[in-house]
Structures are given as C-alpha cells and as structure tokens.
Amino acid sequence: MHLDVTWENGLDLVAGVDEAGRGPLAGPVAAAAVILDPSRPIPGLKDSKQLSASQREALAADIRGRSLAWAVAWADHEEIDHLNILEASLLAMARAVAALTLQPQRVVVDGNRCPRVPQPVTAVVKGDVTVPAISAASILAKVERDAAMCRLDSLYPGYGFAIHKGYPTAAHLAALETQGVCAVHRRSFGPVRRCIEKVSGA
C-alpha cells in the first residue's frame, strides 16, 4: 500500500518525526521534525543507520537548506531517568513538532508509539525506511545527537563519548568500571545502575 504522507493537493503540510539516542547509557535523546518541500526533493534519503557519518552530514545540510521547516529538540539524561526512555523520547518528539516555525496539519512518526501533539499523528513501523520525511528526521536527529556527544566528550574526557556516542560498547563499559559514573550517565540504565551499586556496596 502506498502511504502518501508528503503532500496532498498542495495544502497538506506533513511533518516526519524520529528520534536518536534511545540505547546509549549517557547523554540526551534527540528528536527531529521535518516538513519536506515537494518542489525541492532531496535525493538519497533513507534510514540514518544505513548511511555513513559523512553521508549523514551531507544530507543533514540538504535537509536544513531545502526543507520547508525543521526543528531538533531534546530530553536530557535527568528526564530520561525520571520518565523512562520511551516517554522521554516521545516528549522530545513533541517538543520538536512544537518548535517547527511552520506548523504541520499532520504528523507521522517512526515506530509504533505516538507523541502527544495537537495534530493528527500516525505511527509508521519502519517509517524511517519508507517515508522520506521520517528518513530526513532520523538523519537530522542522529547528526545533532552525535555532535552533542562530541561536545560532552570534551567536558567528560576518558569515556570515549566522541567515538561510541554513549552506546554500551566494551570500551564504554570498561571506562565505567575504571572512572565511575559521570554527571550525564543515565542512572536508570542497568550497567550504570550496577556500577553505582558496586561503588556504594548496595
């Protein structure tokens, strides 16, 4: 079935929304919302995970330059710990939609859960593969979050945030063991929680 979520009769503004950073042990989760311009197509849009870092950077520049509107929003590590990662991701998505300078008539989101937004919203499983506006959002969210983790690497050296972006790699887990937990680690996540408990003797 063809799902037309880009443009209808030249009037239907549709925002694609996706997040990046649900799996890492540290840092914020990012979400992007993008309203594509049908008169300025962007070749090469696909799921951000199918692209190299340089491809994502180039496409992100095109998305910023050619879209009718785009926005990136965040939920930080404290909100993730307070709400849980799913609810924090949905909150970041809602913030991204609200931050758009041009408000859409409809919203389409990658996955199977919808953020609370004023517009009609549809969840599309594997939407980052099948819906160009969601692909654009996935690319923008990934690029912005990777940049944020590089900035955190300079503030919290020794963890390798610029390399693994906070994901639970062997190097990151080893750094947790030797350096302990830093301010931007997600304390509700198992490896971080266990590290805290080990130090405290709980």
Per-residue pLDDT tens digits for 78-131? 999 999 999 999 999 999 999 999 999 999 999 999 999 999 999 999 999 999
Instruction: Place 200 in a pLDDT band, splitting at 50, 70 and 90.
Output: confident
pLDDT at 5: 42
The DSSP output letter for 16 is: E
pLDDT band for position 1 (cuts 50, 70, 90): very low
- The strands making up 121-124's β-sheet, listed across from edge to edge, are 69-75, 29-35, 14-20, 106-110, 121-124
For residue 7, is pLDDT > 50? no
pLDDT band at 76 (very low <50, low <70, confident <90, very high): very high
Residue 184, pLDDT score: 98
Q: What is the pLDDT of residues 162-178, one digit of tens each?
A: 999 999 999 999 999 99
Q: Give the contacts of 10 (CB within 8 A, at least 6 positions apart).
A: none
Check: CB of residue 36 under 8 Å from CB of residue 68.
Answer: yes
- In angstroms, rounded to a whole number, what is the distance separating the alpha carbons of residues 123 and 125? 7
Mean pLDDT of 35-39: 96
Contacts 24+ apart (CB under 8 A), 145-148: 145/20, 145/21, 145/27, 145/28, 145/29, 145/30, 146/20, 146/53, 148/27, 148/28, 148/30, 148/74
Q: Comparing 143 with 12, which gets the higher pLDDT?
A: 143
Phi/psi of residue 122, each to 5°? -125, 135
pLDDT band at 12 (very low <50, low <70, confident <90, very high): confident
Band of pLDDT at residue 199, cut at 50, 70 and 90 = confident
Q: What pLDDT is attached to residue 11?
A: 53
pTM assigned to the model: 0.92
Token pair of 123, please?
């969840």
Quote the pLDDT of residue 24: 98
Domains of the chain, with CATH numbers?
14-145 (3.30.420.10)
Contact 68, 37 (CB under 8 A): yes
